[in-house]
Amino acid sequence: MTRKDSRLVVGVIFGGRSAEHEVSLVSATSVINALDRRKYRVVPIGIAPSGKWLSTPDALKLLKAGGNVDAEQERILTPDPRYHGLKNLGGPVRNNRHLDVIFPVLHGKLGEDGTVQGLFELAGIPYVGAGVLGSSVGMDKVVTKQLCEHAGIPVTPYLWFLANAYVHGSAGIINAVERSMGYPCFVKPANSGSSVGISKAHGRKELKIAIALALKYDRKILIEKGIETAREIELSVLGNDDPIASVPGEIVASNEFYDYDAKYVDGKSVAHIPATFPKHTVKALQTHALAAFRAIDCSGMARVDFLVKKHSNRIYFNEINTIPGFTSISMYPKLWEASGISFPRLLDRLIQLALDRHRSSLKLRTAYRPKSNWYKES
């Protein structure tokens, strides 16, 4: 049976069980509104903070309202590749929904960390963005820094520890921070985004408070040396095996650093696009951004953040974001717009990259035929 509608069916997944749930809803609004309806049939797929999956035309509205969604029909993405899409739980089979491609706009844990990407792989559906490995590595700031160091990309001095180590040896960790990097320093949950749980510590008392806050969001904590007079620079990367980098942009935060409120709430932070640098510095930033993208085996898209010292223009890799924000103020689409790619065209490119990567994966063998049926006799 052939479909009468030739448009691609795009499932946009948003919300999720994450501290960045609200940011995801705003990003999804931008993506859904910008997708060209002449090319795509958009299927909104919301995940409530409870973990319940919804796929109704008003799923986004329901999650934004923050009400009780228990009475809503649940439609989940099944890992069974025969369905290639959504399946009603307890509902009629005719209401199952085929998906041609998935556009995840899930930020943070259980959405950007490889978990849901593994589900997409099991379901056999193309999806936008990094695969399982790139997503999980990109989510872990410590592993990302280690891989970038190995690739020769300069990073800020740092150390990390697990919650159990801090419980049994907090004094030693505090002393190690003061001995190796001093103040100010930044304390971060290793697996978090949108600056959730991040603090800047100017002394021992603030450091202890910052660690306590970060431990509320993750068992693995990263502490980085504060780079004085640093400019916060971001670049967007687009592509699979042959990625390209955008012009750099600079964030001038409304607070002491670019925290959650400065990013989304107060509206006072300023973005300078493109950032003003000598040509050789721009080239170095783009080279490092592409190297970081490749180092974690990323694909599709990423935003790569750097710190650049004023006057010397010395570059330090900060972090990589494999599902960057798509809100009206987000740097990822703004940087591409400044580089000559409009938002709707950017979404087209991302979807095409997802389809290309999936086609490449279909060429790989998933089975091996042994010389004998030895396994039947075991």
Structure confidence at residue 165 as a pLDDT band (50, 70, 90): very high
Structure confidence at residue 291 as a pLDDT band (50, 70, 90): very high
Q: Looking at the predicted structure, is the pLDDT value of residue 316 above 60?
A: yes
Mean pLDDT confidence for 349-354: 98
Say which residues have a Cβ less than 8 Å from residue 337's Cβ, sequence separation at least 6.
343, 346
Let me know: does 152 contact 291? Beta carbons within 8 Å.
yes
pLDDT tens profile 250-271: 998 765 655 555 444 545 678 9
Q: Which stretch of 5-9, 17-21, 100-104 has the lowest confidence by average pLDDT?
A: 17-21
Residue 250 vs residues 52, 145, 246, 300, 331: alpha-carbon distances, Å: 38, 21, 13, 23, 9
At 3 the pLDDT is 65
At 210 the pLDDT is 96
At 264 the pLDDT is 47
Residues of the chain with CATH 3.30.470.20: 230-361
At 193 the pLDDT is 62
Q: Looking at the predicted structure, is the pLDDT value of residue 161 above 90?
A: yes
Q: Looking at the predicted structure, is the pLDDT value of residue 367 above 50?
A: yes
Q: Per residue in 46-57, is it b (16+ CB within 10 Å) or e — as a string? A: bbbeeebbbbbe
Q: What's the CATH number for 230-361?
A: 3.30.470.20
The more confidently predicted of residues 290 and 74 is 290
Kindly state the tokens that stand for 108: 């943070």
pLDDT tens profile 201-226: 999 999 999 999 999 999 999 999 99
Question: Strand order of the sheet with strand 85-88?
Answer: 75-77, 85-88, 97-98
Site of tokens 């935060």:
253
Q: Cα(361)–Cα(354) distance, rounded to whole angstroms?
A: 11
Structure confidence at residue 1 as a pLDDT band (50, 70, 90): very low
Kindly state the tokens that stand for 239: 């592509």
pLDDT tens profile 30-87: 999 999 999 999 999 999 999 999 998 999 999 999 888 888 888 899 999 988 999 9
Q: Give the DSSP letter string of 156-186.
A: --EEEEEHHHHHHHHHHHHHHHHHHT-SSEE
At 2 the pLDDT is 54
Percent of the chain with pLDDT over 70: 93
At 302 the pLDDT is 98
Let me know: does 299 contact 353? Beta carbons within 8 Å.
yes
Residues of the chain with CATH 3.30.1490.20: 157-225
At 201 the pLDDT is 96
At 96 the pLDDT is 78
Structure confidence at residue 98 as a pLDDT band (50, 70, 90): very high
At 208 the pLDDT is 97
CATH class of residue range 157-225: alpha beta
| Average pLDDT of the chain, as a whole number | 91
Let me know: does 194 contact 23? Beta carbons within 8 Å.
yes
Residue 327 vs residues 26, 56, 359: alpha-carbon distances, Å: 6, 22, 30
Between 3.30.360.10, 1.20.120.450, 3.40.50.20, 3.40.30.10, what CATH number should domain 8-127 receive?
A: 3.40.50.20
Residues of the chain with CATH 3.40.50.20: 8-127
